[in-house]
Structure 1
Amino acid sequence: MSRMARLGGLAGRIAGNVLADGGRHLARGKRPAINDLLLTPRNLTQVADKLATMRGAAMKVGQLISMDAGTLLPRELAGILDRLRQDAVIMPSAQLVSVLEDNWGEQWDQKLARFSFEPIAAASIGQVHQGLSHDGDPLAIKIQYPGVRESIDSDIANVCSLLRIAGLLPRSQDIEPLIEEAKQQLKQEADYLHEGAQLQHYRNHLAGFGRREELAIPRFYPALSTDRILVMEYLEGRSLEQVLTAQPQLANRVVSLLMELFFAELFDFHAVQTDPNPANYLYSTADERLVLLDFGAVRHFSPEFVSRYGAALSAAADHDRQGLTHALEVLGFFRRGDEVANRDVILDIFLMAAEPLRQGGAYNFGGSDLARRIHSRGMSVSRDPEAWHTPPPDVLFLHRKMAGLYLLAARFGAVIDVATPFRQYL
Structure 2
Amino acid sequence: MNEKTLTTASPVPKSRASRLLSMGGLATKLAGNVLTEGSKRWIKGEAPSLNELVLTPKNMGDVADKLARMRGAAMKLGQLLSMDAGTLLPPELAAVLARLQSQGVIMPMTQLIHTLESSWGTDWMDQFNYFSFDPIAAASIGQVHKARTLDNNELAIKIQYPGVAQSIDSDIDNVISLLRLSGLLPKGLDIDELVDEARRQLHLEADYYAESRHLTDFSGKISNFSISKNLIMPTYFAELSETNIMTMSFVEGVGIEEWLKDHPEDASRIMGLMLELFFTELLQMNLMQTDPNPANFHVCPDTGKLILFDFGAVRSFNPQFVDRYKQAIDQAIDQNRAGLEAALEVLGFFKNGTDVANKAAVIDIFTIAAEPLRSATPYHFAQSDIAKRIHEIGMSVSKDPDAWHTPPADVLFLHRKMAGLYLMAAKHKAVVDTRTIYQQISG
Q: CA deviation at 1:385?
A: 2.3
Backbone CA RMSD of aligned residues: 1.4
Is 1:99 equivalent to 2:115 in the alignment? yes
Query: Structure 2 CA distance, aligned partners of 1:3 and 1:230?
Result: 25
337 and 121 in structure 1: CA distance in 2 versus 1, 3 angstrom threshold: closer
1:333 equivalent in structure 2: 349
Is 1:68 the counterpart of 2:84? The answer is yes
Name the amino acid aligned to 1:17: N
Q: Residue 308 of structure 1 corresponds to which residue in structure 2?
A: 324
Q: Which residue matches 2:429?
A: 413
Q: Is 1:271 the counterpart of 2:287 in the alignment?
A: yes
* Structure-1 separation of matches of 2:56 and 2:216: 45
In structure 2, give the amino acid aligned to 1:335.
Answer: K
> 1:334 and 1:80 mapped to 2: Cα distance?
30
- Cα distance in 1 between the residues matched to 2:384 and 2:219: 35
1:208 aligns with 2:224: yes
For residue 25 of structure 1, report the CA deviation from its aligned partner.
Answer: 2.6
1-side partners of 2:179 and 2:339: how far apart?
A: 37
Post-superposition offset of 1:121: 0.8
C-alpha distance 67-336 of structure 1, shift in aligned 2 (>3 A): closer
Is structure 2 residue 73 aligned with structure 1 residue 52? no
Deviation at 1:319, TM superposition (A): 0.6
Letter of the aligned partner of 2:70 in structure 1? M
Q: Deviations over 1:82-117 (max 9, x none)?
A: 221222321122221221122222321122222111
Distance (Å, rounded) in 2 between the aligned partners of 1:172 and 1:337: 18
1:378 corresponds to: 394
Deviations 1:228-282 (A, max 9, x none): 1100110111111211111111000000000000000001111111001001011
The answer to whether structure 1 residue 113 and structure 2 residue 129 are counterparts is yes
Asked if 1 retains the 8 angstrom alpha-carbon contact of 2:84 and 2:415, the reply is no
Q: Is the 8 A contact 1:68 1:78 kept in 2?
A: no
SS in structure 2 at match of 1:113: strand
8 Å Cα contact 1:69-1:400 kept in structure 2: no
Q: CA deviation at 1:393?
A: 0.9
Deviations 1:52-83 (A, max 9, x none): 11111111111112223632212221212222
- Rounded to whole Å, the distance in 2 between the matches of 1:106 and 1:21 is 51
Aligned to 1:390: 406
Query: Structure 1, residues 131-186: CA drift from partner, whole Å, max 9, x if none?
Result: 11222111000000111100000000000101111111123222111111111111
Which residue does the alignment assign to 2:27? 11
Going from structure 1 to structure 2, the CA distance change for 1:132 and 1:371 (only over 3 Å counts) comes to same
> 2:239 is paired with a residue of what secondary structure?
coil
Note if contact 1:70-1:379 (Cα within 8 Å) is conserved in structure 2: no
Return the alpha-carbon distance in structure 1 between the equivalents of residues 75 and 85 of structure 2. 18
For residue 164 of structure 1, the aligned residue among 180, 199, 211 is 180
Matched residues, number = 426
Gap regions ≥5 residues in structure 2: 1-16
**C-alpha distance in 1 between matches for 2:399 and 2:303:** 49
Aligned to 1:319: 335
Give a deviation string over 1:290-341, Cα, whole Å, max 9, x none: 1111000000011111111111111111111111111111111113743112
Consecutive unaligned residues in structure 1, runs of 5 or more: none
* Equivalent position of 2:49 in the other structure: 33
Greater alpha carbon shift after TM alignment, 118-127 vs 130-139: 130-139
1:231-310 mapped onto 2 (5 Å cutoff)? 231-310=247-326
- Cα deviation for residue 380 of structure 1 reads 0.3
Cα contact 1:56–1:152 (8 A) shared by 2 = yes
Q: CA deviation at 1:221?
A: 0.9
Mapped contact 1:329–1:336 kept (Cα < 8 A) = no
Residue 67 of structure 1 aligns to a residue whose secondary structure is helix
CA apart distance, 1:357: 0.9
- TM-score normalised by length of structure 2: 0.93
Q: Please give the alpha-carbon distance, in whole angstroms, between the structure 2 residues aligned to 1:75 and 1:58.
A: 20
**AA aligned opposite 1:9:** G
Which of 395, 413, 416 pairs up with 1:400?
416
Relative distance call for 1:57 and 1:69 in structure 2 (3 A) is closer
Q: Is the 8 A contact 2:143 2:159 kept in 1?
A: yes
Q: Which amino acid in the other structure matches residue 230 of structure 1? A: M
Structure 1 window deviating more from structure 2 (332-341 vs 176-185): it is 332-341
Distance in 2, Cα, partners of 1:134 & 1:85: 35
Identity %: 54
Match of 1:77 among 93, 96, 104: 93
CA distance in 2, matches of 1:252, 1:184: 35
Q: Distance in 1 between matches of 2:124 and 2:327?
A: 52
> 1:150: which partner in 2?
166
Residue 127 of structure 1: aligned partner: 143
Say whether 1:219 aligns with 2:235. yes
Corresponding letter in the other structure for 1:255:
M
Please, what TM-score do these two structures have when normalized by structure 1?
0.97
- Offset from partner CA, 1:319-372 (integer Å, 9 cap, x none): 111111111111111137431121111111111111111111201101111111
Pairwise CA distance, 1:425: 2.2
Residue in 1 that maps onto 2:189 = 173
- Aligned with 2:226: secondary structure? coil
* Maintained 8 Å contact 1:69/1:403: no
Does the Cα contact within 8 Å between 1:191 and 1:228 map onto a contact in 2? yes
Retained in 2: the 8 A contact 1:189–1:195? yes
Output the amino acid matched with 1:316.
A
- 8 Å contact kept, 1:270–1:301: yes
Q: Is the 8 A contact 2:350 2:405 kept in 1?
A: no
